[in-house]
Amino acid sequence: MSSESWTQRYSAALMNTFGPPKLILERGEGCRVWDVDGRSYVDFLGGIAVNTLGHGHPALVDAVTTQLGTLGHISNFFASTPQIELAERLLALAAPDTDGRVFLCNSGAEANEAALKMTRRTGRTHVVAMEDAFHGRTMGSLALTSKQAYRTPFEPLPGDVTWVPYGDVDALAAAVTDQTAAVVIEPLQGEAGVNVAAGDFLAAARAITTDHGALLWLDEIQSGMGRTGRWLASHAAGVTPDIVTLAKGLAGGIPIGACIGFGDAGRLFEPGNHGTTFGGNPVAAAAALAVIDTIEKDGLLEHAVAVGERLRSGLVADARVTEIRGSGVLVGLTLAGVDAPAVVAAAQDAGWIINATGPDRVRFAPPLVVGLDDVDAFLAAWPSILDAAQGSAA
Ligand SMILES: *Cc1c(COP(=O)(O)O)cnc(C)c1O
């Protein structure tokens, strides 16, 4: 059955939350995926920064298969060893010298939902968030997301949120008061097209929140787990927050989320405050442990830095790219005179999956295992992809 008929069946059976699918994909291996028509594509989006190890990585397949055959699901009346090991590993890689506690859940929005509920346990309700932020689609995480198009149909949302321009230290200092429960920041704003907060912004946010007794909460759902070449993007700034939320790449494609509280923030929840049936699921925890082990064993942090630099320097060599942003394999660029969605379509025609985050913004989030050969092949095709996009608009 062809892509066309699958697309019709999709539209007849699934809610129209995402618009029509760009492709109907059937299988994947490494950085390559195949659609139902047998065409293959090199995946430079990685499930939106999720497929850390690419597709079908043996370490992930083995961990999930073995764990599922051993113990697949229990409930949170009980605990499993992968869940405990994962929490320990996350604490050790996020902030080895700081006491912390982990809450495991199933997605980014849920990790942020947990964090938002934690902030309420301080007795304060005011949260300062960033303009152009994306924190998820549940009512709580949406309350922190600034995009009006996402918010307006669902208002009223849980309130008491102030937005400040991303990176603006003075605006942040003016917005945070002694009534502020938390400041929430993405170290890189992925959904906005990979905006990067200067290291001194995170350091200033740490100082300002500390001054006012507010929590510093970093949403590393997209930027964390090695994507920028460090376990957490905020490590580059040397800042230890009170809360970190993780999800996307954490288990390489198996649904998972984590909310980490450091110091007192790790003890804000008491029994009865929060929960989730699937959170800490042994299969998801085993998958995350396999991802972490493989990143360490195969030197994927260093690799992400090297391929990311090669990708960025190659992309910006074309004069139609006016700005290049990001670190490691989270890369965003701005185009002049070329429509970003047309570039994505032209790339797909040429066998590459990339993503537009706005009319002139393109994002790349390939698996950490992406090869230099794939990067070089993409860069060789890049000018002709831009030509094709310009031609299609003419
Ligand atoms: C994707 C994302 C979320 C939401 O995660 P879901 O798993 O889609 O709920 C939250 N914050 C950031 C920074 C994200 O990139």
Domain coordinates in residue numbering, the chain? 3-56+299-393, 60-297
135 lines ligand 1 (CB under 6 A): yes
Give the CA count within 13 Å in the CB-facing half-sphere of 316: 15
For residue 195, what is the enclosing H or E element?
Answer: strand 195-196
Question: How many angstroms is it from 144 CA to the middle of ligand 1?
Answer: 12
Question: How many angstroms is it from 136 CA to the middle of ligand 1?
Answer: 5
Question: How many angstroms is it from 219 CA to the middle of ligand 1?
Answer: 8
Q: What is the pTM of this model?
A: 0.98
Give the ligand 1 atom nearest the CA of 189.
Answer: 13
Give the ligand 1 atom nearest the CA of 137.
Answer: 9
Mutation test residue for ligand 1: of 134, 259, 330, the one with most atoms within 8 Å of CB: 134
Pairing between strand 40-43 and 352-353? parallel
* Catalytic positions: 134, 219, 248
Question: How many angstroms is it from 221 CA to the middle of ligand 1?
Answer: 6
Give the ligand 1 atom nearest the CA of 138.
Answer: 9
DSSP secondary structure letters along 19-56: -S-S--EEEEEBTEEEETTS-EEEESSHHHHT-TT-BS
The pLDDT value recorded for residue 248 is 98
190 lines ligand 1 (CB under 6 A): yes
SS3 14: coil
**Token pair recorded at residue 369:** 């295992």
Give the ligand 1 atom nearest the CA of 248.
Answer: 7
Where the chain has pLDDT below 70, the residues are 393-394
The pLDDT value recorded for residue 394 is 54
Listed in sequence order, the residues at least 6 apart from 216 whose beta carbon sits closer than 8 Å to its beta carbon are: 182, 183, 185, 205, 206, 209, 210, 239, 241, 242, 243
Question: How many angstroms is it from 65 CA to the middle of ligand 1?
Answer: 26
- Nearest one of 118, 128, 144, 112 to 180, comparing CA atoms: 128
Which residue lies with its CA nearest to atom 6 of ligand 1?
108
- The Cα-based distances of 161 to 140, 150, 267, 268, 275 in angstroms read 11, 16, 24, 20, 24
CATH topology of domain 3-56+299-393: Aspartate Aminotransferase, domain 1 (3.90.1150)
CATH topology of domain 60-297: Aspartate Aminotransferase; domain 2 (3.40.640)
Cα separation, 43 vs 50, in Å, equals 11
User: pLDDT per residue over 317-374, tens digit each?
Assistant: 999 999 999 999 999 999 999 999 999 999 999 999 999 999 999 999 999 999 999 9
Which residue lies with its CA nearest to atom 8 of ligand 1?
108
User: pLDDT per residue over 88-135, tens digit each?
Assistant: 999 999 999 999 999 999 999 999 999 999 999 999 999 999 999 999
